[in-house]
Amino acid sequence: MAAQTPQDSSAPTVGIVVVSHSHALASAAYDLAAEMLADQPVRVALAAGLDETTFGTDATQIMAAIQEVDTGAGAVVLMDIGSAVLSAELALELLSDEQRDRVSLCSGPLVEGLLAASVSAAGGASRDDVVAEAVGALAAKQQQVGDVEPDAGAAAAAAAAAGAGEPTRAGPEAVEQFEVTPAHGLHARPAARLVSGLAGFDADITLRNVTTGAGPAPARSLTRVAALGAMRGHQVEIRATGPEAEAAVGFARDLAARNFDDVDAPPPPPTVSDTGPFAASPGVVVGPAWRIADRPPPPPPESTGDPEADRAALAAAIDQVRGELHRTRDAATRSAGADEAAIFDAHLLVLDDLAASAESPSTWPDKVAAAARDLEAVDDDYMAARAADIRAVGDQVLRVLAGEPTESLVGDGILVAADLTPAQAAALDAERTTGVVLAHSSPTAHAAILARARGIPMLVAAGARVLDVAAGVTLAMDGGAGELVIDPDAETRERFAGRARAEQDRRSEAQARAHEPAVTRDGTPVTVAANVASTDEAEAAAAAGAEMAGLVRSEFLFVGRTSAPDIDEQESAYLALAEAMGGRRLTIRTLDVGGDKPLSYLPMPPEANPFLGLRGIRLALARPELLSDQLTAIVRTAHQTPVSVMFPMVTTPDEVAAARGLLADAIDRVGKGQPPELQVGIMVEVPAAALTAATLAEDVDFFSIGTNDLTQYTLAAERGNEAVASIVDPMHPAILRLIQATCDGAGERVLVAVCGELAADPQAVPTLLRLGVRELSVAAPAVPLTKEAVRATDLNGKTDQAGG
């Protein structure tokens, strides 16, 4: 049997078996059908000839072919002459009763029937419809030649074939066109958002590239949608039929209007950086360079001879990879935010597409390659490069099947790379990878934030020249000062090594005193807290000496799911964090999502600039049901352990009043009165909030300055954009003046904290404390050194860094 590998499909479709005395004839017929089908997926197996040169048919070969192509929707068997029919009938007798009921022997012509049946099956038609189209495949030719008058059934089948691929579900129909606006078209992330969003509607949905004529494609298949080749400026038609057709079309229209929630990537930096490298994560290292190895994927395992066992092995591997992707996405969400984690949603959709047509480990590589080729064939370099996502997911499955590790991010010394994703940064072994030098990226990119959280020194924007550094070449780097020397001489090595020894001594001393209070040299106590988003991070924070959780990123409960967590689930999660922190106070920031960080179950209106749109407290007040449930869970928790609630992205006093009103309602619902230790605060991330702090202070217990957002809003420089990395300076005089204004407005009663990246900078700590900050919340590994920076500070020092 020679099985032809189909491309992926988003749902089980009818498979086709070609039975012929001649292997060459069957192969030629398949090649013709495949040429006509282009990128439409269909499962076809050839049971033709006793071998490639010997004429004949074999019932056991036909049975195996049926089992291969039938993945639940059944199979249609096309036959040539004579004993081919007898062999096919015998093959049916060899099948189980359940599978036999899903197989139809078809009398349609072999060549025309195969083409018609393949088109019909690819469009998702039922087994009966596939048979009807194959039987009627001669109708058009008969009518044109005029030798036979086609019967009504054949004519109907021919007419039906003309509409293959169009929606078939009964009910209301909606059709609309939208323009593709992302710079690189419907690449992985926007396509994933479109596909995942449309999957929940009760409608039969197809997409067609009106500009090129490609399609239609089922809207539930990521690779089929991506393979439409929808580039920027192309018009795409969405056609939906069914009860929720209008809603589905409306969702696509709104998503397109907001650029598919896609933030176009900035242009790459110059080949050689004139300004870098930039300090991204402190630490001094001297060591050999290493590069991420390009491992070829292992070959697929050979068939066991048991089709069911083979399918079970592949399904188990796919399930394991699905679990790995979920864990990677969740880790990236906690460490770097929901927007970066969205790429893993795309990988999950790719896996689901491939899994829908998976048959055996031996055919898996061909299936992956076919899906990747669809994208590589698109006339756009960026779009074609997205095939790497498909190959990466496919390779993960192969490595699981072969028992190999799925990640190859292991090396000793300083990693040199063009860039790192959050997942790759999370996968580094901090004991062996002593530093990272990136050609691109920025100090505020998510990989850099993660490196700081894990205590791995990092330099970014070093320029493409670093990619020419060979493995084993010695590098000397200072991640705090932004210095890099390639192949240093002995004197330079010793200079950097001396810095590294001094830094290690400081770290050891800081760790020894980690659980002691942080008090300035002139006797002022300062709280050093930790930013957490999981029980593991909370345990690490307590072990590092954190006095409380200064920022609990509650988004970890809400992302990566199809509906919001209920009150009980949220309360349970908060209590688990409190237990991990040893009963120390939790400062829970209410849900901080919005236009730039959407939730799949929270539809958003189109926004031209989501960073300046409906996000943080603005979104929470617009959708009060989510905030009310969260506040109820927080109040319940506050009756059992010390809790502070903190509202993000506050700009006006009216927002504080509305949020406190919902909090009062939650206290009434819980019915136990005001929790005795519950405190209320707001994030200061908007310049307007800093400048009106005195008014806002009238209704809160504390301010927490988010220096990351405050910096980008003040300097008009997006913090993840490497093209403006040199502008993003949280120690800019304008930022320090806003921090000073916040502290002045807070007065004596309202505490001021800093929970942004600036709080972990030892050089910035003295300035922050002298401006009036009395709480610093940092990543757990930074707690000991931050305490040491506090102890080294004298508040009577000059504050000239604030600009006077």
CA angle 132, 13, 375 (to 5 degrees): 120
Scanning the structure block, which residue is given the tokens 């220096």? 707
Residue by residue, DSSP assigns 6-41 as PPP-SS---EEEEEES-HHHHHHHHHHHHHHHTT--
483 and 283 Cβ atoms separated by less than 8 Å: no
**Measured distance CA(523)–CA(546) in Å, rounded:** 19
CA dist list (Å): 238 to 203, 350, 404, 468:
12, 21, 42, 47
Q: Where are the alpha helices (DSSP H) in 244-337?
A: 245-257, 307-336
Topology classification of domain 307-402:
Enzyme I; Chain A, domain 2 (1.10.274)
Q: State the chain's mean pLDDT as an integer.
A: 79
Q: What is the mean pLDDT of residues 650-665?
A: 95
3-state per-residue secondary structure call for 203-233? CEEEEEECCCCCCCEECCCHHHHHCCCCCCC
**Measured distance CA(414)–CA(466) in Å, rounded:** 12
Q: What is the mean pLDDT of residues 635-645?
A: 96
C-beta pairs of 387-390 under 8 Å, 24+ apart in sequence: 389/188, 389/343, 389/346, 389/347, 389/350, 390/223, 390/350, 390/354
**Measured distance CA(661)–CA(254) in Å, rounded:** 32
Predicted confidence (pLDDT) at residue 339 exceeds the cutoff of 50: no
pLDDT digits (tens, 9 = 90+) for 152-203: 444 333 333 333 344 456 678 888 888 888 777 776 567 767 776 786 788 8
Q: pLDDT band for position 416 (50/70/90)?
A: very high
Q: What is the mean pLDDT of residues 206-224?
A: 79
Domain ranges of the chain: 2-162, 173-261, 278-293+409-509, 307-402, 518-680+753-795
Predicted confidence (pLDDT) at residue 120 exceeds the cutoff of 50: yes
Q: pLDDT band for position 75 (50/70/90)?
A: very high
| pLDDT of res. 267 | 37
CA-nearest of 112, 33, 160, 131 to 73 is 131
CA-nearest of 408, 439, 415 to 288 is 415
39-53, 267-281, 467-481, 722-736: which has the minimum mean pLDDT? 267-281
CATH architecture of 278-293+409-509: 3-Layer(bba) Sandwich (3.50)
CA-nearest of 137, 207, 126 to 169 is 126
One-letter amino acid at 163 equals G
Residue 265, Cα to own-chain centre: how many angstroms? 15
| pLDDT of res. 455 | 79
Q: Where are the alpha helices (DSSP H) in 74-151?
A: 83-94, 97-100, 110-122, 127-135, 139-145
Tokens of 257: 């209007």
**Measured distance CA(104)–CA(78) in Å, rounded:** 9
The pTM of this model reads 0.53
Exposure string for 431-455, b = 16+ CB within 10 A, e = fewer: eebbbbbbbbbbbbbbbbbbbbbbb
**Measured distance CA(599)–CA(196) in Å, rounded:** 11
Q: Is the dihedral of CA 98, 167, 260, 559 positive or negative?
A: negative
33-37, 715-719, 774-778: which has the minimum mean pLDDT? 33-37
| pLDDT of res. 625 | 92
Predicted confidence (pLDDT) at residue 670 exceeds the cutoff of 90: yes
One-letter amino acid at 34 equals A
Residue by residue, DSSP assigns 577-639 as HHHHTTT--EEEEPP--BTTB--TTS-----S-GGGSSBTHHHHHHSHHHHHHHHHHHHHHHT
At the fourth CATH level, which superfamily is domain 518-680+753-795? Phosphoenolpyruvate-binding domains (3.20.20.60)
One-letter amino acid at 15 equals G
For 173-261, CATH number out of 3.40.190.10, 1.10.620.20, 3.40.50.300, 3.30.1340.10 equals 3.30.1340.10
**Measured distance CA(690)–CA(686) in Å, rounded:** 7
Scanning the structure block, which residue is given the tokens 């929707």? 73
| pLDDT of res. 266 | 40
**Considering the domain 2-162 in this protein, what is its CATH number?**
3.40.50.510
**Measured distance CA(91)–CA(339) in Å, rounded:** 52
Give the three-class secondary structure for 440.
Answer: coil
Query: In whole angstroms, how large is the CA radius of gyration of the chain?
Result: 31
Predicted confidence (pLDDT) at residue 205 exceeds the cutoff of 70: yes
Scanning the structure block, which residue is given the tokens 């998976």? 358
pLDDT digits (tens, 9 = 90+) for 4-13: 433 343 467 8
Residue 783 is given by DSSP the state H
Predicted confidence (pLDDT) at residue 375 exceeds the cutoff of 90: no
Q: Which helix (H) or strand (E) element contains residue 2?
A: strand 2-4
Cis peptide, bond prior to residue 216, ω within 30 of zero: yes
**Measured distance CA(747)–CA(298) in Å, rounded:** 65
Q: pLDDT band for position 634 (50/70/90)?
A: very high
Catalytically annotated residues:
446, 755
| pLDDT of res. 165 | 43
> Highest mean pLDDT range out of 81-85, 301-305, 428-432, 740-744?
740-744
